[in-house]
Chain A
Amino acid sequence: MPHAVTFDHVSRLFGQMRAVDNVSLTINEGEFFSMLGPSGSGKTTCLRLIAGFELPSSGRILIAGQDASALAPFERDVNTVFQDYALFPTMDVLNNVAYGLMVKGVGKKERLARAEEALSMVALADYGSRKPGELSGGQRQRVALARALVGRPRVLLLDEPLGALDLKLREQMQSELKNLQRKLGITFVFVTHDQSEALSMSDRVAVFAKGRIEQIATPQDLYDKPASRFVADFVGTSNVVDAPLAQSLTGQRRIFAIRPERIQLGCAGIVTAHAVRAKGVVRDIAFLGAVNRIEVELAGKAVLTALTPSFGGALPLIGSEVELAWRIDAMHWITEAA
């Protein structure tokens, strides 16, 4: 089976600015694929390239194995859920959802029936006669989703669709989206700047920075084995230790990353031969609920952050000297590009 989407050395220039810089990637059929990155990293431009709102300055884009580089948006078997939902204000909800079927010439009776069905899929069965302006943000989001899915596209593109929702609703929509994707088996391409969203929902994540891809990996690998300092910093929180300090701690002059929850206070229960140990002074302690965040300053001003369970165990005093320890296999060496 061909890949759902393939980028073959794709660049998109806006004037002198390389919004997308020589990106190659493949998205598998039926995959939940996220594009993660800070704003201006090129992730949204990549999405718009798939939709056909932008055309590549160089390189090729294949959809289902066919070269789609020069196709208009309406010639692509791809639908988009827009960041602002882009519901048509002059139509009611049902006709919004049925719009894609209407312009493709599906008869009135059938398209309204299918639109009803799509609305009930997003739990808005009774809202067909409302105008978009009468809906809440979460409801508009669902209508946009139903509208994009009613034609059963090969690929569904989602442009930060949860950004405007409050936290509770966002979490609920995250799991609903994931369930929907599993049920329909449609390839989802999800753009977000929220790393926890990308980690919790995706099969694979592409991390973007400055128009380039830093890493493509499963959420687990992205977290455990960040390919660069940028990824280690952007995905979760991480301690990135510079080469000089790494040499004094481990004997190897290489950058490494260590996740805060892998660092423990004291060296109880750790086999010294398989561990790295460091001494430092506690600078700050914050209670976060399930865990405490402890900031420890090592020699040479480097600060390591450790997360320790908040139940049991006395906390050290701020200003006191503590010993930190972590297992060697919890560390991840980073090879920095020149």
Chain B
Amino acid sequence: MHSERTPWALRLAAYGGLAFLHFPLLVIFAYAFNTEESAFSFPLQGFTLHWFSDAWARPDIFAAIVLSLKVATAATVLALALGTLAAMALSRRPFFGKNAITLLLVLPIALPGIITGISLLTAFKVADINPGLLTIIVGHATFCVVVVYNNVVARLRRMPMSHIEASMDLGADSWQTFRHIVMPGLATSLLAGGMLAFALSFDEIIVTTFTAGAEVTLPIWLLNQLGRPRDVPITNVVAMTVMLITTLPILGAWYLTRDTTDTAGGGK
């Protein structure tokens, strides 16, 4: 006999999987409010907000957050400009080498971060560029561009060529057509792509390790904390903050493109 209801075993497995994925996050959330100082002891000792004020008072945390925000913003802006241009160039007429260029463009998202990181570092050394803010931004832009590109190219494919022709036909030059017809059509896909790019950049660690030099972004700061067990509660507070900052834009991107089917490039 067929039933509309999902078999209980399947439901159990599904919810079990979700719990398995998210339980560690909950642990971090919970222990950010725990009164005890050192380890993850159970049960929780009591509720406190004082780790938040501690974290807020630490200049190294503040500096790391500011640096990460700077990097993410710059990489996103760079990715929006380059990704859109690349999508416009590659979405219409075929030309010699088009597939090769598309592949090269999308490659950074498939390539292990450690390869991207090492090759960028080598390239920077060869070019005699000192690692710092600029190199982190460039490193992040390599994969942020892909996210924007994927979103924009999907939208362009669904935008009828006749709209652009109609605009030109009515007397608009290329720039006016881009501004009045193409941009409004791309707006939500740019927003979605930009938010994903921002979130990706904000918690990126592997490429950053190679390109940061002496700079400490938030994820690197967190990694360094592993060696300092006395700081665990503060680390928990910061980890929670990172999660919130990166989750909100991704939720936003999902919300803005939920009635389209092309929020591409979530996979890094």
Contacts and interface: CB of A to CB of B under 8 A. Distances in A.
Interface stretch (A79-87, A226-234, A247-255): A79-87
B46 interface: no
A53 B163 CA distance: 12
B166 A88 contact: yes
Contacts of B181: 88, 90
Given A74-B173, A103-B176, A86 B163 contact: yes
Interface string B172-199: 1100100011001100000000000000
Contacts of A80: 165-166, 169
Nearest to A73: B168
A151 interface: yes
B184 A90 contact: yes
A19 interface: no
A72 B162 contact: no
A151 B168 CA distance: 14
A104 interface: yes
A259 interface: no
A100 interface: yes
Contacts of B163: 86, 88
A88 to B, nearest CB: 6
Contacts of A102: 180
Contacts of B184: 90
A209 interface: no
B91 interface: no
Contacts of B173: 72, 74, 103
Contacts of A32: none
B215 to A, nearest CB: 42
Interface residues of B, number: 17
A99 B170 CA distance: 7
Contacts of B169: 51-53, 73-74, 78-80, 148
Contacts of A82: 162, 165-166
B170 A53 contact: no
B162 A90 contact: no
B160 A84 contact: yes
Contact of A74 (B162, B171, B180, B185): B171
A154 interface: no
A86 B166 contact: yes
Contacts of A90: 181, 184-185
B167 interface: yes
Interface string B96-111: 0000000000000000
A163 to B, nearest CB: 14
A51 B163 CA distance: 14
A147 interface: yes
B171 A53 contact: no
A93 B160 CA distance: 18
A73 B185 CA distance: 21
A307 B180 CA distance: 56
Nearest to A99: B170
Most buried by B among A51, A73, A83, A148: A73
Contacts of B171: 74, 100, 103-104, 151
A104 B167 CA distance: 12
Contacts of B180: 99, 102-103
A333 B140 CA distance: 77
Interface string A57-83: 000000000000000111000111011
Interface in B147-166: 160, 162-163, 165-166
Interface string A295-308: 00000000000000
A83 B166 CA distance: 11
A279 to B, nearest CB: 56
Contacts of B170: 74, 79, 99-100, 103, 147-148, 151
Nearest to B184: A90
Nearest to A159: B162
A90 B180 CA distance: 9
A173 B166 CA distance: 21
A86 B173 CA distance: 17
Interface of A: 51-53, 72-74, 78-80, 82-84, 86-90, 99-100, 102-104, 147-148, 151
Interface of B: 160, 162-163, 165-173, 176, 180-181, 184-185
Given A51-B165, A80-B166, A104-B171, 17 more contacts: A72-B168, A72-B173, A73-B168, A73-B169, A79-B169, A80-B169, A86-B165, A87-B166, A90-B181, A99-B170, A99-B172, A100-B170, A100-B172, A102-B180, A103-B171, A147-B170, A148-B170
5 contacts: A53-B165, A73-B168, A86-B163, A90-B185, A148-B170
Q: Which 7 A-B pairs have the closest CB atoms?
A: A100-B170, A86-B162, A86-B166, A103-B172, A73-B168, A90-B184, A80-B169
